[in-house]
Structure 1
Amino acid sequence: MVRKPDTKAVRTGVHGRTSLLSSLQPVDSAPFKQAAHPVFVWTTVLLVWLISFLPWRLWQPAPDILLLVIAFWCLNEPQRVSMLTAFIFGLFMDVHDAGLLGEKALAYTLVAYGTIILARRLQRFGAVIQAIHLLPVFVLSEAASRIIHAWLAGEWAGWQWLWSALFTVALWPVADALLHMPQRRLNETDPGSA
């Protein structure tokens, strides 16, 4: 049985024509997210890359904040930060750490790939749920990197890397709040967003 539209809900448009589209309301009344400025995106990536050279990274369970920031921008600005960016910065970290060439590059690229694959799902949720969804991505990419390292080097480095992956994912809501801050300020000061 086909239902006819309710004539009471029909409104007249600008030119006196009836329109059902004028009665539609958006699902989310919040303004659309504005794109991050490219200078801000690359400044954060380069700044965190420089911070990653500090000796606190020698502590085995230390979170990998460069990987976190690259994954964040792969989710929110995939046109600017992509798997190629993750691979290049992974190689930079391999050279800096004097480890096996490609070990960090593999982990960074796998995390970027997982983030891009899950992007449509992740953008529907808040930062905490995003972190829960990304937990297997971070753990499995680091596990793949560690297994290849153990196979090539002939030694198992232990399970401390698991703490690093967990701490990195735990920092996802903090990174989300900090890196979205400029866009939220723009939305609050924009007179057309109300």
Structure 2
Amino acid sequence: MSRRRNPWLLPASVLLALLLGLLPLPAELQPLRPFWLALAVAYWVLEAPERVGLGVAFALGLVGDLAFGGLLGEQALRLVVMSFILQRFRSQLRFFPLAQQALVVGGLLLNDRVVSAAVHLALGVPQLPWTYWLAPLVGMLLWAPVYLVLDALRFGRKA
């Protein structure tokens, strides 16, 4: 079966994830902002590991650090940890139903918050308020639509 490849989709999805991360939100919704870049990287690590691995995750994390003005290297570390776990269990995760994949991604996003809290603690940076721990739940709920849209665009199907 011949699958149509869209070489522009990877950079476009990463750029869109960066833009969604920079989108201004009201103060009440700010803690619920999902880690869009992690969702995009997770998709590509699962579906195109020959294109996106630990090095790409690190580079995208550095770009995210520069774009969002956080601690330099924090997002890079967080994305590399997530990508490593995804690569390690990729062969099993690809065959999970989408709902189970969403639970795994939610767990990885929660782990991302733990890594972020550990970095902040180690550097003496103030911790984020507890409401920021709700963002992994939002990311988990968004996994299925993100996955289905990127998959449809990647294979040229209608979403």
TM-score (norm 1): 0.70
The answer to whether 1:149 aligns with 2:120 is: yes
**Contact 1:150 / 1:157 at 8 angstroms: preserved in 2?**
no
Once the 2 structures are TM-superposed, how far is the Cα of residue 130 of structure 1 from its aligned partner? 0.7
SS of equivalent residue, structure 1 residue 38: coil
Question: Structure 1 138/34 Cα, relative in aligned 2: closer, same or farther at 3 Å?
Answer: farther
Unaligned runs of 5+ in 2: none
Q: What is the aligned-residue identity percentage?
A: 26
What pairs with 1:54-93 in structure 2 (closer than 5 Å)? 54-56=23-25, 59-93=30-64
Q: Distance in 1 between matches of 2:52 and 2:2?
A: 17
Question: Hey, what does 1:10 align to over in structure 2?
Answer: none
- Name the structure with the higher helix share: 2
Check conservation: 1:87, 1:105, Cα contact below 8 A.
yes
TM-score (norm 2): 0.84
d(CA) in 2 for partners of 1:70, 1:167: 16
In the aligned structure 1, how far is the partner of 2:59 from the partner of 2:95? 29
Looking at structure 1, the residues matched to 4 and 78 of structure 2 have their Cα atoms a distance apart, in angstroms, of 27
Q: Which entry has the higher C-alpha Rg, 1 or 2?
A: 1
Amino acid at match of 1:41: L
After superposition, where does 1:1-194 map in structure 2 within 5 Å?
34=3, 36-56=5-25, 59-182=30-153, 183=155, 185=157
Unpaired segments of 5 or more residues in structure 1?
1-31, 187-194
Q: Is the 8 A contact 1:35 1:77 kept in 2?
A: no
Following TM superposition, the consecutive aligned residue runs of length 4 or more in structure 1 with deviations greater than 6 angstroms are none
RMSD: 2.3
Distance in 1 separating the partners of 2:26 and 2:41: 17
- Identify the structure with bigger relative contact order (alpha carbons < 8 Å, sequence gap 6+): 2
Secondary structure in structure 2 of the residue aligned to 1:56: coil
